[in-house]
Structure 1
Amino acid sequence: MASFCMDFAVEGTKISFLIQIKAIYQSVGGEYESFPSLDFLQVAFRKKISNKRFLIVLDEVWNENYEQWELLEHPFLTGAPGSKILVTSRKTKAQVDKSMFSHPQRKNFIDAILNKCDGMPLALIMLGRHFRTKTNVEEWEEVLNGDSCNVLTQDKILSALKLSYYNLPSHLKQMFVYCSIFLRAYIFVMDEVMLLWMAEGFLYHRHPTMSLENFGCECFRLLENFFSTLGNEIDLETMKETLNKVHHLSFSSGEFKKFDVLHSIKHLRTLLGLSLIEPDSSRKFLLPPKVLIELIPHLQFLRVLNLSNYSITEVPKSIGTLVHMRYLNFSNTDITCLPEEVGDLCYLQSLLLRGCEKLHTLPNSVIKLINLRHLDIRDTPCLLPLGIGELKNLQSLSNVIIGGKNGLKISELKNLSTLQGRVSLEGLHKVTNVEEANEASLRQKKDIDDLEMEWSDVFDSRDEKTEYQLPSLGHLQALKKLFVESMKNVATVGPELLGSPTFCVFPKLEVLEFKDMEGWEKWSIDSDGTRSSKSYPCLYEISLSNCVKLKVESKHLIPLLEVIHIQECST
């Protein structure tokens, strides 16, 4: 519980309002620190009171500025159920008339408002604020049927966007302007945009303890409402005289074929081939081999190259001359190999090769990319080169095939302590040495939130009747979903899965699924009393399918368990 005195009597300036919100933040235990903008203060505020119950009392309020009330209210939306904000005021406008919420024509009004907004969230906000002061049917119909509604919405949107943009910190302005190179109606994906910002060097303005990736995602969320206004196409043929000033350029896949125009752009930093098709689509656009060979010598300042969804079969060796390259995307192409010269791209941060079905190996020179942070080979059958463990800055590594033709060992993961997100491990049946498995140090990789582990039905020369145990996974602090499938030689699941009882086990696990575990007979959810309060605190869904011999033993309830799916099981 926290108490504070807040001067909210009159409508103040933006600076005074920032000071007032900061006073509340500090009164609930927030640190005494400076924030570059109100947005960053609100992010810190939301984290501080997230899932906590509170009572806020604002006495003698005279402020009628609805925008400021929204800003004040926003951080409190993350509070726990039961939280309350009590406001006292002698102003009649502070009272809300809810008569229209129960009106029989409410649905018709809602449909009309949505049509007026034309899919723009900001337009919906502006109209909502306007209708807030209208308390009867006649006033609503007058606004909806009149031309003033369109003018009002457009003017307020432009005004709000301009005001919001001018008040952004300089680094957010830079990120927003960069996104203007995307196509109209392009669906912005946070991870994709974040990697591009990182490649351009826009993420330097961060707290020392925050990773580039987390800061980029935070900035994306702050700018998300702006993205619907982006997307203006230009004709390069009409602006040849100014081409030398262009630094960032995108083109529509399959439509832009005049690549020779790019030879005139001497300081191009970004070249994005964009499309509106799905990332895993089989559709590809034609790109003659000679185009890339002729183009690369003219792009010596290039940092970002995206040619995904093009029918490229070969990457020229000259790619190694692009020494400023930070982001390279050949996803969903027909390339069969990458040249060894890729290893000369010493500043490369992101190498994206998702869905390259004909790519079976990566060059050994990849291990020279000491600044590589993201290697995406999802749905690509390629093997990682020996020595991949030397890339100590890797944040994401989607697929790892153990014991393939190159003899990759699981111990290669030992030094990749910063791995996060999704990791898939295949060929674990070829791990025969316990010490080697322990060297992988999976328990130290606490930021992995999606882990897939695959054992084959082929167990080499070992006895197939040998009983196997699941690895210890309870220490993975960020793991939210765990799927265990087709491990037919596992008979019991117990304390070996949970790991050490000295800390909270599976602290963030939400979904647990077992499927086709035909030999599984016994599941001890809590093997001793010391674990019961520390196991599965967030688990709400369990799925058991085709576990015909299973019997479950549990003395304690899983606290938040809500959904249980059971199919073809004896339990």
Structure 2
Amino acid sequence: MLNELGSNVDTSDDQRQLISKLRTFLEHKRYLIIVDDIWSTQAWELVKCALPENNLCSRIISTTRNADVATSCCSSLAGYIHNIQPLNEHDSQKLFFKRIFGDKSACPPYLEQVSHGIISKCHGLPLALISIASLLAGKSRLKEQWEQVYNSIGFAFSHQGIRDILLLSYYDLPIHLKTCLLYLSVFPEDYKIGREELIWRWIAEGFISEVKGQTLDQVAENYLNDLVNRSMIQPVDIKYDGRADACKLHDMVLDLIISLSTQENFTTIVEGQQYKCSSNKIRRISIHSKCLEDEVMQEIMTNCLQVRSISFYGLQDQETSLLPTLNSLRVLAFENWHHRGSKSIKHLGRFFQLTYLRTNSHGIYELPEQIGGLQNLLTLDIRGSGVEKLPSTIGCLKNLVRLLVYHYVKLPNEIGDLQALQQLSRAGNYNSIVFVEQLKRLANLREIDILLHGSAQLGARDMARYMEALKSSLAVMGKQGLQSLEIRNDDTVIGEKLMDLLCYSPCLRKLVIYSCSISRLSKKMALLVNLRHLDIWVSSIKQDDLCVLGSIPTLLFVMLSVENGPDERLAISSHQFRCLKQFIFISLGGGLDVLFMQEAMPELRWLSLYFCAEETDCKMGFVFSLKHLASLEHLEVTIDCQNATRSRVETAEASVRNAASAHPGCPRIEIIRKCEDWMRDDKVDKEEILKDMDGHEVALREI
């Protein structure tokens, strides 16, 4: 909850510490908090302790399937229980037919009767309706097949009825999708599963079959999309290009696949001090406990001699040593494991089948030299761990595809030996000129995120060598098909030179240049004809610069941060940014005088703007032209309140709201105040002390 509210969270805090921090954070705030899916009255009592009653008209909404919990939530706070009703017949039909046909009117007459029969069995429950509709959407439109589905399902008003419907959808999956879906049982309830994390764990397990003309990760992404289309997985964090950055499981779907995984000895789940295993040979194990007794951990390790996957989630202050005889281990993941020392991975070099290693545990502060012997390793992800330096033997990992670190990790100069490497994130500023020169040897590199040295660190002579090495490496990587380039630096010299290097990477699809001091955009950016994602920071921007960006035909996302607000009105015409889906414009040093011409940005769905309230009187041209963004669905406006009067901020907000209300598409609007504590009160502003002509101080008093 603290994390969702934007407060810093130490995952090692116990319940008492978290409650204290949350109460302190909320003590003087008016809040609306939604607590989803409370299972017990004990859990509610714990949550309630963290929510202060501060007489500021705060509100709490809780959801639960348990009537006793609902009563408990209301009894102490004079609340109201709202029993969610099933969908009525009209809405049930709308949801069902939209998933299959796109529209109710598209249903063939010969399927109407059986469709209504199926809908009636779903009893207005959205999960049942969408599951059956997704199943039918993948089948031919034969009446006989639909009647078979109708006869196969019971009525969904009971828990067992919904489970039967979900089982029907599961059994309809091809074998490769069944396996991939069951694998999701390793993740804890409500865990947000990263798309790349899931895809590469599937690959590591050997679930993904080769398809001619496609890479394994492309095939795996197709599997994921198929499961989403069948409504077995819920996509979350959907981006501008329609791809979901993560996914989640509905609680009932998770319950089902955990049950199936246990029956088939596919996955063993450990919660509390108990674990269920249908065999004394564990194939995959996922530990969701914060603490395990030594005897339990020893028993688990004894049964893990043939284990293929071990995942730890949230284990606190407990040391364990993985046995050196785990010859079948392919996946090893430590998530939020807080313990001391690196004893747990001292035998890492003996896990010769290991293909996926991930840890964000601060207790793991070094990797053994023997890691170089893991010739099957595809993913090495140590982001958030205590590791600050990788051993030189990393260069021996000839099949490593993904190396994911944080900027503070020093990488060896042998980085050029990783001939299979496709993704490098995030290489830090501790790396040498030799390291930068070695990058050109990475023939298969497709994504790189690097923090560059500054001239103050290197000196003029070494800086020249460094830039020459960077230029040479970028040129080679660009010709070899580099698709994503993220560069972070706060040095003016490097920032300006980076603009001249862009022409070497015509295949770029994503470009991020962050915290680099760049005076103006380069006309060479027009050469990036494949660019889809641009995030760049500049000192100033002119109309010509905007025209250069607008001419890139493939842009879907643009985040433009400008240190000094434009000194001229910027106009975006109808022939610019024709495919853009999301536009973020941040004006850090002034107003935002941008005018959207008629039919501008025809595909824009999401618009985010940031400006200083002090400039609202004369530099808010965008307000009057929002109506020209025909496809706009979401408008987010951040107002910097620093040194602005309250009335000026409120006037700016009102102007934005009025413009959004007048938009024919009625976009969803979100207004955020930044630096609100630095806002000036109007009354105090009127009493501001001024100097008269004789140099004496006089006060303007409010009359």
Report the counterpart of residue 343 of structure 1 in structure 2.
Answer: 372
1:417 aligns with 2:417: no
Indicate whether 1:172 and 2:177 are aligned.
Answer: yes
Query: Quick check: 1:259 aligned with 2:297?
Result: yes
- Check conservation: 1:474, 1:499, Cα contact below 8 A: no
Aligned AA for 1:328?
L
SS at match of 1:398: strand
1:163 matches 2:173: no
Matches within 5 A, 1:110-189: 122-123=127-128, 125=130, 151-152=156-157, 154-189=159-194
Match of 2:576 in 1: 558
Q: Secondary structure at the match of 1:547?
A: coil
Pick aligned residue for 2:207 from 195, 202, 213: 202
Instruction: Give the percent of matched residue pairs that are identical in Structure 1 and Structure 2.
Output: 19
Aligned residues of 2:402 and 2:421 also touching (Cα < 8 A):
yes
Residues 383, 406 of structure 1: 8 Å contact kept? no
Determine the C-alpha separation between the residues in 2 that align with 1:549 and 1:71.
Answer: 46
- Tell me, what secondary structure is at the counterpart of 1:297? coil
How far apart are the structure 1 equivalents of 2:566 and 2:131? 60
Q: Do the aligned residues in 2 keep the contact of 1:269 with 1:301 (CA within 8 Å)?
A: yes
1:272 alignment counterpart: 311
SS in 1 for 2:324: helix
CA distance in 2, matches of 1:70, 1:554: 39
Residues 158-557 of structure 1: matches in 2 within 5 Å? Answer: 158-204=163-209, 206-224=210-228, 225-226=231-232, 227-228=249-250, 229-230=253-254, 231=258, 243-257=279-293, 258-261=296-299, 262-275=301-314, 285-288=316-319, 291-292=320-321, 295-310=322-337, 311-315=339-343, 316-356=345-385, 358-378=386-406, 381-401=408-428, 404=431, 407-420=434-447, 423-427=449-453, 430=463, 431-433=466-468, 436-442=472-478, 444-448=480-484, 451-457=485-491, 469-472=499-502, 477=507, 479-480=509-510, 482-487=512-517, 490-499=518-527, 504=529, 506=531, 508-509=532-533, 512-515=535-538, 517=539, 524-525=545-546, 535-538=552-555, 541=558, 543-547=560-564, 557=575
Q: Which amino acid aligns with 2:589?
A: E
Residue 299 of structure 1 and its aligned partner are, at CA, apart by 2.1
Supply the distance in 1 between the matched residues of 2:557 and 2:351 (Cα, whole angstroms).
49
Contact 2:156 2:162 in 1 (8 A): no
Supply the distance in 1 between the matched residues of 2:432 and 2:488 (Cα, whole angstroms). 17
What TM-score results when the alignment is normalised by the length of structure 2? 0.51
Deviations 1:343-394 (A, max 9, x none): 11111111110112x422100111111111222113x511221121222322
Query: RMSD between aligned alpha carbons?
Result: 4.5
Contact residue 478 and residue 507 of structure 2 kept, 8 A? no
Q: Please give the alpha-carbon distance, in whole angstroms, between the structure 2 residues aligned to 1:174 and 1:386.
A: 40
- Residues 67, 166 of structure 1: CA spacing in aligned structure 2 closer, same or farther, 3 A cutoff? farther
Partner-residue secondary structure (3-state), 2:280 = helix
Match of 2:40 in 1: none
Mapped contact 1:491–1:522 kept (Cα < 8 A): no
Asked if the contact 1:443/1:473 (under 8 Å) is kept, the reply is no
Partner deviation per Cα, 1:140-185 (whole Å, 9 max, x = no partner)? xxxxxxxxx9853535422322222222111112222233333344
The structure 2 residue matched to 1:568, chosen from 584, 589, 598, is 589
Give the drift of 1:459: 6.2
SS at match of 2:335: coil
Preserved contact between residue 287 and residue 312 of structure 2 (Cα < 8 Å): yes
2-side partners of 1:541 and 1:312: how far apart?
Answer: 43
- Aligned partner of residue 173 in structure 1, secondary structure: helix
Report what 2:7 is aligned to.
Answer: none
Does structure 1 conserve the Cα–Cα contact (< 8 Å) formed by 2:488 and 2:513? no
> Relative to 1, partners in 2 of residues 1:494 and 1:523: Cα closer, same or farther, differing over 3 Å?
farther
Deviations 1:102-158 (A, max 9, x none): xxxxxxxxxxx9xx96xxx624637999xxxxxxxxxxxxxxxxxxx9853535422
Larger RCO (CA within 8 A; separation ≥ 6): 1
Q: Is the 8 A contact 1:383 1:401 kept in 2?
A: yes
8 Å CA contact 2:307–2:328 kept in 1: the answer is yes
C-alpha separation between the residues in 1 aligned to 2:276 and 2:114? 58
* Alpha-carbon distance between aligned partners in 2 of 1:126 and 1:548, rounded to the nearest angstrom: 50
Secondary structure of the structure 2 residue equivalent to 1:191? helix
What are the ranges of 5 or more consecutive residues in structure 2 without an aligned counterpart? 1-92, 117-122, 135-153, 233-248, 260-268, 456-462, 594-703
Q: In 2, distance between residues paired with 1:253 and 1:93?
A: 50
* Conserved 8 A contact 1:399-1:424: yes
User: Cα offset for 1:480?
Assistant: 4.9
- When residues 547 and 152 of structure 1 are mapped into structure 2, their CA distance, relative to the original with a 3 A threshold, is same
In structure 2, distance between residues paired with 1:91 and 1:176: 30
Corresponding residue number in structure 2 for 1:24: none
CA distance in 2, matches of 1:452, 1:411: 18
Written as runs of structure 1 = structure 2, the 5 A alignment for 1:28-47 is none
What secondary structure does 1:250 align onto? strand
Aligned pair count reads: 425
Code of the residue aligned with 2:486 in structure 1: it is: E
| TM-score normalised by L of structure 1 | 0.62
Helix, strand or coil at the partner of 2:383: coil
1:373-422 superposed Cα distances (whole Å, 9 cap, x missing partner): 222113x51122112122232232111236735841155144243424x6
Distance 1:72 1:308, change over 3 A: closer
For 2:401, the aligned partner's letter is R
Instruction: Return closer, same or farther for 1:238/1:384 CA change in 2, 3 Å cut-off.
Output: closer
In structure 2, what is the Cα distance between the partners aligned to 1:240 and 1:90?
48
**Alpha-carbon distance between aligned partners in 2 of 1:525 and 1:565, rounded to the nearest angstrom:** 14
Over residues 207-264 of structure 1, what are the superposed CA-to-partner deviations in whole Å (9 max), with x where a residue is unaligned?
A: 2222211222222233344343224656898889965322111111423342211123
In structure 2, the partner of 1:101 is none
Q: Secondary structure at the match of 1:452?
A: strand
333-342 vs 386-395, which deviates more? 386-395
- For 2:362, give the aligned amino acid: T
Question: For residue 555 of structure 2, what is the amino acid of its counterpart?
Answer: C
SS at match of 1:362: coil
Do the aligned residues in 2 keep the contact of 1:523 with 1:550 (CA within 8 Å)?
A: no
Residues 479/428 of structure 1: CA separation in 2 closer, same or farther (3 Å cut)? farther
